[in-house]
Amino acid sequence: MEEKTLNIPNITCDHCVMTIKNELGELEGVFRVDGNAGTKKIVVQWEAPATLEKIKDVLDEINYSAA
């Protein structure tokens, strides 16, 4: 299992964090998504078939690109 903390500058509130959790949670292989609107960071845990590239692609699609 892999884990990565990502900085997401577009996060402005808890609703943003919930949107990210819901979207990334639909990716096969993603186990956990935690976020904090105050720090603008999310923590993602995953294993195959999910990849960091796929996670970043989803974030780009929903306009929450990782810095």
HEC sequence for 12-51: CCHHHHHHHHHHHHCCCCEEEEEEECCCCEEEEEECCCCC
Tens of pLDDT, residues 7-53: 999 999 999 999 999 999 999 999 999 999 999 999 999 999 999 99
66 pLDDT band (50/70/90 cuts)? very high
pTM of the model as a whole = 0.94
63 pLDDT band (50/70/90 cuts)? very high
The pLDDT, as a whole number, for residue 54 is 98
Pick the CATH number of 2-61 from 3.30.1060.10, 3.40.1280.10, 3.30.300.130, 3.30.70.100: 3.30.70.100
